[in-house]
Structure 1
Amino acid sequence: MVIKPLTPRLSVAPQLTVDDIARVARSGYRSIICNRPDEESPDQPSADDIRAAAQAAGLAFAYIPAISGALTDANASAMRSALETLPAPTLAYCRSGARAEKLAQMAGLLDDPAEADTCDVLIVGGGSAGIATAASILKRRRGIRLTILDPSEMHYYQPGWTMVGAGIFGPDFTRRAQADLIPRGARWIRESAAEFHPEERQVTLGDGRRIGYQVLIVCPGISLDWGAIPGLTETLGQNGVTSNYRFDLAPYTNRLVQQFSGGRALFTQPVMPIKCAGAPQKAMYLSCHRWERMGMLARTNVQFHTAGTALFGVPTYVPPLMAYVERYGIDLAFGSKLVEIDGPAQTAIFERSDGEGTRRVAERFDMIHVVPPQVAPEFIRTSPLAAPSGFVEVDEATLRHPRYPEIFALGDSCSASNAKTAAAARKQAPIVAVNALAALDGKPPVATYNGYGSCPLTVEAGKIVLAEFGYGGKLLPTFPRWLIDGTRPSRLAWLLKDTILPPVYWHGMLKGREWMVKPQMIAAGQTT
């Protein structure tokens, strides 16, 4: 089902099926028009079938059949009358969508300046940050005109890919149809953003259209630059080269680890920032634990090559991690950046920096888990919204742009110095929601963000070091120390990761249920 928005009140689509109707309702549409005569094709559902499904989903329905190639003024007049009386927004359909669009044009609905494509709140990005923020806004203010821009057909629970790579989750556990997750009342345009025009309060879409807004929220995520490492793209998924940073490759990680019979296993971490800075280590520790149980660890040389100078950015968590480095016999290589890979020869080239300068070193491998360099999306890096880092510039407390007070950003694409994790986005979403609504009302921000992020470091199957911290590395534990001591490996923290967090994500965060992340409000007289 491919929907083409024409105006804020009308979109068109090809032939709908009965199974499509629930998705149409979840996407925020309130009525359906059928422009295709019954029995035009032997396999099409009847208008009565679609009407019944629409009414069951709480949608209004109108049947305005029109013959392809013989559209009449009467058809156009009926279309105009229906759109004046049906609750908006409306989805009209025919065989391909073209007939419905032509009728809208004949009815003069596409030439009306009042129909200029605009909304109250425009959210660029329909990942975890975008959908959570949309849901939080709509929970607080029903009837707001909120639009989400995102071209994706599928939505992924990316924190689960570490567990897929370890054989704990199946890959399908981490994905759902995007249409099933768009909050009711939101309009979803399946297009990407291409260019920002903040002075005009407009965004150009990938197809060339423009959409206006009163408040803009930017959260399209981070770009994984696989092509920055010569030889990597063409060898991923073969020759022992894998990465849990892609849905289709995490199962390959599982197979490689399961079938490993000893040898050299390399794990890499690029220059910061990256999403979930602990993920490269998680893959390594879980692999080592499996090899330990298989009796294979003694026959394996495990190396961790990180471009950084420390095992983890918050010193408090380094000692418990080092205990596992020693237990698994991992060789640490700091200041070691992967710069090239020869898959068929199973050789990785690293650029190493130390007190003697920089040199290139070749390392043979039997398997290698690669984490690619990561950058802000190009359309953000080249935009007026960008900070020197390339990410959307924001005030670290309010997540508002310093030069454009009607623009906010969160998640992996904003310039705040917090760790780029799903837990951070979960905390940021309600803060941006209330601040965006305040901006819509012409008021200053009302909530503040302390930089909270969380990294459940899976040091073995069944135990996790639960790192929780904010700006400057300040520890921000959610639970009392007697329940979960984040500085020690914990079975309860594993239960949190394995059993509790996935439903919290799907049924809490993406539904606007702000369990344990209610926004911290700015006290009267307090400045940020």
Structure 2
Amino acid sequence: MSASALRTQVSRWGCSRARDWTSYQSLHTTSRATSKEHVKVLVLGGGSGGIAMSARMKRKVGAENVAVVEPSEMHYYQPIWTLVGAGAKSVESSGRPTASIVPSGVRWIRSKVTEVNPDTNSVRTDCGKEITYEYLIVALGLQLHYERIKGLPEAFHHPKIGSNYSLKTVQKTWKALQEFREGNAIFSFPNSPVKCAGAPQKIMYLSDAYLRKTGKRSNATIIYNTSLPVLFGIKKYADALWEIVRARDLNVNLRHNLIEVRPEKQEAVFENLDKPGVTKVFEYEMLHVTPPMGPPDVLKGSPLADEAGWLNLNKETLQHPVYPNVFGIGDCTNLPTAKTAAAVAAQSGVLDRTISRIMKKNHPDKKYDGYTSCPLVTSYNTVILAEFDYNGQPLETFPLDQSKERRIMYHMKADLMPHLYWHGLLRGLWGGPGPYRTLMHLGMK
């Protein structure tokens, strides 16, 4: 294998093989040369936003000028985990090897980002590699913090507890649901930003449907304890969900935050956020945990972050307000909209245009309106398709009332959207339903 071929291959290897390359290269060059790399467009993160923008940048500047830093060998379509936790989809169907979804010719640097220095246009990885860039796209996602709940994550070694937010625990949700006999089925929403804010209650509706189907519903008390002061952030859809809650005899406790799990006693402890320090213990036969979430460690305290640690962006152009060659997309950002794959899709189209303009020394001329979507799964064959903007106003694609439960919306969630994700969004070909909305509404918003 030639040196150039080996260099190309190592960009898709992990740290250990990268060190093998360093040893090989040191026979021919200085060690200083092996620790540095330069790329025109550097993408941090190989999730939905990172891969989508890698594909778009490949078309813009050529594959040889784009690199993506991502340590994971597998890529998962996480929105489908709601259905995996309810037994409607297999976990295997949600994943594909990262190597298969990185755009052809784009360098995949299989490492973890440990430092970002926008003042020197450089990034360091856990391999000790320094990468310099002309343009940086940050798509690092967010972190799950089960450890912020006392008793977790150790409690997941016990039965009757699961979480659809992790590959390691999503099948435990389905197992707990199958093994349910009688008692409380409890579902939590944490006191932090979360990705897909509707997911914590989707599994509640699916569990209710499953228990009805299996004849166990009369033995169950279903409880949704949420730290939020509302059932859902957009009133139109919240009103529809409250009707479902009442019709199906579901118990909702607002401003209740999970702070401890006692698996040996099958107890969950919640704090009343309106009365700090006041707690209530709930016994459970099944417990679904949505963990607190936060920004990646590498962003916290960096020049790119806001005070809370999220990537600081202009909410309309997705450009950093201080470093004009830095951009962001997805869950790691401080954009005031829901963190969903649908938001990533809409952001990707705007960001593509923004970067094109910046590269040509022009000002951005396209604005992201905060569009996002949350398919609220309410049973094994119905969905309320919530779509809205920065102002919390419905921004619906179809010329019908999307606050109504519909079977066709379920098939869109379960069957169409995964296909659109793998073959549209990740290939940089899907920028959200904006053009179709305009067409279906005859040009009217």
Normalising by structure 1, report the TM-score: 0.78
Asked whether the 8 Å contact 2:160–2:286 carries over to 1, the reply is yes
Q: 1:398 to 1:331 in 2, by over 3 A?
A: same
Asked whether the 8 Å contact 1:136–1:430 carries over to 2, the reply is no
Match of 1:508 among 424, 438, 443: 424
Structure 2: which 5+ runs fail to align?
437-445
| Shift, 1:246, TM fit | 0.9
Percent identity between the two aligned chains: 33
Asked whether the 8 Å contact 2:305–2:312 carries over to 1, the reply is yes
| Shift, 1:479, TM fit | 1.9
Q: Aligned AA for 2:426?
A: L
| Shift, 1:200, TM fit | 0.6
Q: Aligned AA for 1:490?
A: R
Cα deviation 1:93-129 (Å, max 9, x = unaligned): 9x9787764443333376559x941111111100011
Mark the structure with the bigger radius of gyration.
Answer: 1
Aligned residue-pair number: 433
In the alignment, the residues of structure 1 paired with residue 260 and residue 191 of structure 2 have an alpha-carbon distance, to the nearest angstrom, of 15
Specify the alignment match of 1:322 in structure 2: 242
Aligned residue for 2:193, secondary structure, equals coil
| Shift, 1:343, TM fit | 0.7
Specify the alignment match of 2:339 in structure 1: 420
Question: What does residue range 12-23 of structure 1 map to in structure 2 within 5 Å?
Answer: none
Q: 1:331 to 1:147 in 2, by over 3 A?
A: same
Specify the alignment match of 2:281 in structure 1: 362
Cα deviation 1:36-91 (Å, max 9, x = unaligned): xxxxxxxxxxxxxxxxxxxxxxxxxx5xxxxxxxxxxxxxxxx6xxx5xx898466
Specify the alignment match of 1:38 in structure 2: none
Match of 1:404 among 319, 323, 337: 323
Whose relative contact order is higher, 1 or 2, with alpha carbons under 8 Å and at least 6 apart? 2
Question: What does residue range 288-303 of structure 1 map to in structure 2 within 5 Å?
Answer: 288-303=208-223
Specify the alignment match of 1:203 in structure 2: 123
| Shift, 1:516, TM fit | 4.5
Specify the alignment match of 1:344 in structure 2: 264
In the alignment, the residues of structure 2 paired with residue 103 and residue 501 of structure 1 have an alpha-carbon distance, to the nearest angstrom, of 45
| Shift, 1:240, TM fit | 1.0
- Is the deviation greater in 282-291 or in 115-124? 115-124
Asked whether the 8 Å contact 2:226–2:255 carries over to 1, the reply is yes
Match of 1:486 among 392, 402, 409: 402
Specify the alignment match of 1:224 in structure 2: 144
- Is the deviation greater in 503-512 or in 277-286? 503-512
In the alignment, the residues of structure 2 paired with residue 369 and residue 391 of structure 1 have an alpha-carbon distance, to the nearest angstrom, of 27
In the alignment, the residues of structure 2 paired with residue 124 and residue 98 of structure 1 have an alpha-carbon distance, to the nearest angstrom, of 21
Specify the alignment match of 1:17 in structure 2: none
Question: What does residue range 64-213 of structure 1 map to in structure 2 within 5 Å?
Answer: 83=4, 89=8, 101-108=22-29, 116-143=36-63, 145-213=65-133
Structure 1: which 5+ runs fail to align?
1-32, 34-61, 63-78, 521-528
Asked whether the 8 Å contact 1:430–1:518 carries over to 2, the reply is no
Asked whether the 8 Å contact 1:448–1:519 carries over to 2, the reply is no
How large is the Cα RMSD of the aligned pairs?
2.4
Aligned residue for 2:403, secondary structure, equals coil
Q: Aligned AA for 2:412?
A: L
In the alignment, the residues of structure 2 paired with residue 147 and residue 375 of structure 1 have an alpha-carbon distance, to the nearest angstrom, of 26
Runs of 4+ in 1 over 4 A off after TM superposition: 86-93, 95-103, 109-113, 515-520
In the alignment, the residues of structure 2 paired with residue 399 and residue 309 of structure 1 have an alpha-carbon distance, to the nearest angstrom, of 29
| Shift, 1:286, TM fit | 0.3
Asked whether the 8 Å contact 1:192–1:206 carries over to 2, the reply is yes
| Shift, 1:236, TM fit | 1.2
Specify the alignment match of 1:332 in structure 2: 252
Asked whether the 8 Å contact 2:43–2:138 carries over to 1, the reply is yes
Q: Aligned AA for 1:400?
A: Q
Cα deviation 1:292-346 (Å, max 9, x = unaligned): 1222112111111001100000011012111221122111111110111111110
Aligned residue for 1:411, secondary structure, equals coil
1:285 matches 2:201 = no
Q: 1:274 to 1:96 in 2, by over 3 A?
A: closer
Aligned residue for 1:434, secondary structure, equals helix
In the alignment, the residues of structure 2 paired with residue 261 and residue 116 of structure 1 have an alpha-carbon distance, to the nearest angstrom, of 59
In the alignment, the residues of structure 2 paired with residue 240 and residue 297 of structure 1 have an alpha-carbon distance, to the nearest angstrom, of 17
In the alignment, the residues of structure 1 paired with residue 220 and residue 345 of structure 2 have an alpha-carbon distance, to the nearest angstrom, of 38
Cα deviation 1:363-389 (Å, max 9, x = unaligned): 111111010100111111121111122
In the alignment, the residues of structure 2 paired with residue 516 and residue 302 of structure 1 have an alpha-carbon distance, to the nearest angstrom, of 35
In the alignment, the residues of structure 1 paired with residue 431 and residue 193 of structure 2 have an alpha-carbon distance, to the nearest angstrom, of 28
